[in-house]
Structure 1
Amino acid sequence: MKSLAQHSDLVIAAVMADIAIVLLVGAVLGRLARYLRQPPVVGEIVAGIALGPSLLGLLPGNPTAHIFPTEARPYLSAIAQVGLLVFMFGIGWEFDKRLLNGRRGAAGAVSISSIALAFGLGVGLATMLYSHHDTVKGHHTSFTAFALFMGAAMSITAFPVLARMLTEHRMMGTRVGALALASAAVDDVLAWCLLALTAAIVTAGGAAGDMAQIGVLSAIYVAVMALVARPLLAYLTRRMVRDRVPPLYVIMLVAGLFLSSYATTWIGIHAIFGAFAFGFIMPREPFEVLADGVKRPFDGISMVLLPVFFIVTGLNVDISAISGRGVIELIAIVLVACAGKIVGATIPGRLTGMPWREAGTLGLLMNTRGLTELIILNVGLSLGVLDSQMFTMMVLMALVTTALAGPLLPNAPASPDELAGRRSTRSDQTQAA
């Protein structure tokens, strides 16, 4: 009979082994995804689903239950939460107002149009799906919460995945790439605000008094972040950051990040909003020093811990549980998601003077959801808005819409320097032959 201490040690050891397995499988499938002209996040999402009940759990003996035992899952969730908060800090920090220089009108039109259409279609779809998904773990979910959440989930564009995709397709310097990046930046801020409103409504449970309290506390939080935390961070950055970032500065940032996340959780929205807001008010200058001393190390932490988030998500995804009706619902969800973002971005892109081909490319880019969508879906799951079947279908929608863009996007023409390098290489090969 093992003692309690021995059992605890075995659980911790299982968590460490689980992280190793997730990292290795995610790395392999992420590399395979890149080979198939997909962003690595597609492979990592597939890895999380494959290790869960949808694939590995179907094998004899249910290996998923043994590899990821019930006792280990709370630890995995806590580790995933840390990686998620660090990632959201990076999302907030990457929002650069300079992206909008010269593109405010076009970016605003594309982002507002794509969000409005996607949100409206999402709410419309919710009216048809609600009666079959209005009970989550024995608790009734209000239509308002379900509809708002579906609208917000349909409205998102994954800014980090989009930026990576533009770089890999050499589209960062093109007109459509620059407009897509600027529009996605505005899109993300608006979508997070929609989600925060939804989370507040769900937390308040429809009670006017609770909703008013959350609204007042949220306003106070925003004021403190803007009028106290932001100037304080700017002052500390001027005093402490010169040609390098001192360790004390990093410690203070991490402490501020987690305190901000705690504050938004206590208010009644969600921890991710606190992390995003703290990154948003973070100083950007001196850019290179902060990028080397803060952003890149934080990105390294995310790279190691976020795959744990994928397996935590994958453990809640069970494709085999989707019924015949569920297949029809899944097709409807994917079609509505694609129509909302592609049409909502293509039309204003065309009206700003883009040819149809470029406008269509813009729509495909804005339809990319990726990791950001999974974050929203996990919020919905934790708030009790989504049942397990709806969560599974929405995760599959995120996977499909992200994978759709890669094969359909054109590669931009190579730059003169790249062409010169290729000609030089071919010349050297000819002389060697």
Structure 2
Amino acid sequence: MHSPASHAELVTATAVAGVAFILIAGALLGRLAQRFHQPAVVGEIIGGILLGPSALGLLPGDITGRLFPAEARPLLSAIAQIGLLLFMFMIGWEFDLGLLRKRRTAAAAVSLSSVVLAFGLGAGLAVLLYSGHSTVHGKHVSGTAFALFLGAAMAITAFPVLARILTDSRLMHTRVGALALASAAVDDLLAWCVLALVSAIATASGSGTFVQTLALSLAYVAVMLLAVRPLLATLFRRLVRANALPHLMVIVAGGVFLSAYATTWIGIHPIFGAFLFGLVTPRQPADALQLHLRRPLGTVGRLLMPVFFIITGLGVDIGGLTRRNYLELAAILAVACAGKLIGASAPALAMRMPWRQVATLGLLMNTRGLTELIILNAGVSLGVLDTSMFTMMVIMAVFTTALVGPLLPRLGVAPAETAGPAAGAAAVPEPAHPDEPALVGDEPAVPESARGPAAQ
């Protein structure tokens, strides 16, 4: 005789069914976005917004609540968190310091100019917006944390999405493409540092707690660099000798999750633990790691990251925005675009780049995409952003990313243009990893993470 499922079993089954719906909707809308020359992530985020209270939730019958009930959302969030942590590991593991060394002068000029201007404008805007967003779920938000967070969010350029755009538009071999990618790497590194500071401020209950969090964070970084890194190198060598590399993905995934737990315990967001574990993970032997680590993790990312995109969209409530919020949104869009377009263009003009390349560089640096979503979700979990602010910032992320599709072809930078070395750059960069051959001209190696799970 059939016995009815328990309530807990039904909640779990509902979450699993929600994942199935998310994967199908994400695949369809991501593909649709690509047909309009947009990154798939734009379609997946819009899919989440349509499935949430902004569209489907407006229909009678509470369809959104039935598809994604409140009891099932923590399970969906946990699945999304696993995909996010593995993606952040890939970002850290594929982070190419050589990309920065080869173009340190030009990339530093473009990046610092765009970061400083965007951060300054964002922090200044935060001062004006703070009074309307100083309370999140009944808790007071630190004005310093709010200003730093908004500044960091404005300063972001989405490195993985940018790499995919450059590849699809065949601009990777151009000077402007190489410079944009190197500058974006610096942008994101600086923004992660600021976000770590915001995380410490937001979770600290006083100056003493903040100092303790900062000290523990520095100690953790030192342990990862001085102890974990050589231990991982030794472990990888032994696994190679024992022909046990098929177990590598499980071991690395366990390390990612433990590192994320450690940073959470310290008082900063778990994404920093995953990113730092990626930075200290060995890149050798390249061929074996390509087969046993990079490819399987890329597959897992392609499976789980759409859940993250849709969950993000479910938190967006456009219908809840007030008339004042729309004025704030206009200001956010203006500041976001001005900070990157002007900040990146000024040093490019000083380097006497043609105006089409200058405009292209500014447009590319204004791309925020997935990296912005990661930071915004961190802001929600840290209690820095309320629902309306989160909604406006997600709209900004989608808008600045979607601008590239229609505007980039109009700027007319020739894909066949050969990259000349930017100021301070070497003529031919070294590959990011030995299994990636040196590329022609001034083209940087594209990280597998940028081509894989989330560089959509």
Classify 1:309/1:4 alpha carbon distance in 2 versus 1 (closer, same or farther; 3 Å): farther
CA contact (8 A) 1:244 1:289 kept: no
Residue 292 of structure 1 and its aligned partner are, at CA, apart by 2.7
Alpha-carbon deviation of 1:287? Answer: 2.6
- Aligned residue for 2:284, secondary structure, equals coil
What is the letter of the counterpart of residue 290 of structure 2? A
Deviation at 1:296, TM superposition (A): 2.0
Q: Relative to structure 1, is the Cα distance of residues 113 and 133 closer, same or farther in structure 2, using a 3 angstrom cutoff?
A: same
Are the structure 2 counterparts of residues 35 and 243 from structure 1 closer, same or farther at C-alpha, using a change threshold of 3 Å? farther
How many residue pairs end up in the alignment?
A: 414
* Structural mapping, 1:122-133, within 5 Å: 122-133=122-133
The alignment-based identity, stated in percent, is 63
1:413 alignment partner AA: P
8 A Cα contact 1:200 1:211, kept in partner: yes
Indicate if the aligned counterparts of 2:174 and 2:416 stay in contact, CA closer than 8 A: no
- Structure 1 position 212 matched with structure 2 position 211: yes
1:8: which partner in 2? Answer: 8
Structure with the higher fraction of residues in helix conformation: 1
Matched, 1:52 2:37: no
Cα distance in 1, alignment partners of residues 3 and 73 from structure 2: 21
Query: 2:344 matched to 1:342?
Result: no
2:273 corresponds to which residue?
274
Instruction: Name the SS for the 1:342 alignment partner.
Output: helix
Q: What is aligned with 1:143?
A: 143
Instruction: Assess if the C-alpha contact under 8 Å between 1:244 and 1:293 holds in 2.
Output: no
Instruction: Find the aligned partners of 1:195 and 1:293 in 2 and give their Cα distance.
Output: 32
Query: Is the 1:245–1:290 contact (alpha carbons within 8 Å) kept by the matching residues of 2?
Result: no
The 5 A counterparts of 1:277-288 are 277-288=276-287
Matches within 5 A, 1:11-50: 11-50=11-50
Contact in 1 for aligned 2:54/2:317 (Cα 8 Å): yes
Deviation, structure 1 residue 244: 7.8
Instruction: Summarize the Cα distance change of 1:80–1:350 in structure 2 as closer, same or farther, 3 Å threshold.
Output: same
Please say if 1:293 is aligned against 2:292.
yes
CA distance in 1 between counterparts of 2:84 and 2:252 reads 16
Structure 2 distance, partners of 1:237, 1:82, is 23
TM-score in terms of structure 1 length: 0.92
> For 1:54, what is the secondary structure of its paired residue?
coil
Task: Name stretches of at least 5 consecutive residues in structure 1 with no aligned partner.
Answer: 417-433
Return the alpha-carbon distance in structure 2 between the equivalents of residues 73 and 175 of structure 1.
Answer: 45
Within 5 Å, give how 1:61-140 maps onto structure 2: 61-140=61-140
Contact 2:174 2:417 (8 Å CA) reproduced: no
Whole-Å separation in 2 of the counterparts to 1:284 and 1:168 = 26
- CA distance in 1 between counterparts of 2:230 and 2:186 reads 23
Q: Which moved further from structure 2: 195-204 or 250-259?
A: 250-259
Cα offset, 1:65, TM superposition: 0.6
The aligned amino acid for 2:138 is G
Write the distance in 2 (CA, Å) between the matches of 1:187 and 1:163: 14
Equivalent-residue separation in structure 2 for 1:36 and 1:263 (angstroms): 42
The match for 1:333 is 332
Structure 1 letter corresponding to 2:43: G
Cα drift, residue 413 of structure 1: 3.4
The 2-side partners of 1:41 and 1:91 are apart by 16
Tell me the residue number matched to 1:200.
Answer: 200
Distance 1:258 1:309 in 2: 17
Structure 2 distance, partners of 1:242, 1:390, is: 53
Offset at residue 245 of structure 1 (A): 6.9
C-alpha separation between the residues in 1 aligned to 2:188 and 2:236? Answer: 26
Question: What is the CA distance between 1:409 and its match in structure 2?
Answer: 1.3
> Does the aligned pair in 2 maintain the 1:245–1:289 contact within 8 Å?
no
8 Å contact kept, 1:365–1:405: yes
User: Do the aligned residues in 1 keep the contact of 2:95 with 2:279 (CA within 8 Å)?
Assistant: yes
Cα distance in 1 between the residues matched to 2:414 and 2:244: 37
Identify the residue that residue 413 of structure 1 maps to in structure 2. Answer: 415
* More displaced 10-residue stretch of structure 1: 238-247 or 180-189: 238-247
* Residue equivalent to 2:356: 357
* AA partner of residue 338 (structure 1): C
Q: Which moved more, 1:185-194 or 1:230-239?
A: 230-239
Q: TM-score, normalised by structure 2?
A: 0.88
Task: Name the CA distance, whole Å, in 2 between partners of 1:380 and 1:142.
Answer: 12
Q: Which amino acid aligns with 1:309?
A: F
